[in-house]
Amino acid sequence: TCTVTDGKITVTAGTTGVVGFTNTYARKVGSLKIIKKLDGGADQIPVFTEEQKQAMTFTVKDSSGAVYKSVTYKDFADGASYTFENVPTGTYTVEETISDVLTNTYQIVVTNNNASAVISDGKTTDVTITNDFTKTGSLTLKKTFAGAEIPADKKNSLQFKYWKINE
């Protein structure tokens, strides 16, 4: 016979006592807040469509490079940040990927991409990723000939110069 009283174990002579133990632990956790900052001036920063918001993906990887979690800009409730709660302590990287939905229209310079974040117990770690937007476009020049016929070799040798004024 085996009894446990006030933390003491008593085993009766000539018997076998079995005592089981359960170790319970909780992994230390913190929070990771991704802050999205937009630069480029009021006339350069787009008003994003839902498709464009979905085109900006933020991937959090652990120290081994394994994906921990991913989120899109569409998930940023206030349009400025997203917080992952209960992130196990450790070192992570945050990477933003932007699809062609935006890069076909804008030149985007991403600052602090692949940022390192150390998560500490009970604390929030901020990572700010900045996008600097510049609108891109195209220009097509078309020359129309009128009057006397111009030989094809002369038409094909024409050159145009252009420049931007009133910046």
Per-residue pLDDT in tens (0 to 9) along the chain, 167 residues: 677 777 787 778 888 777 777 888 888 999 999 999 988 777 777 788 888 888 899 999 999 999 999 999 999 977 789 999 999 999 999 999 988 777 777 788 888 999 999 999 999 999 999 988 887 766 677 777 777 787 878 777 777 777 666 54
Over its C-alpha atoms, the chain yields an Rg (Å, rounded) of: 31
- List, in order, residues 6 or more apart from 63 with CB less than 8 Å away: 90, 91, 92
pTM of the model: 0.68
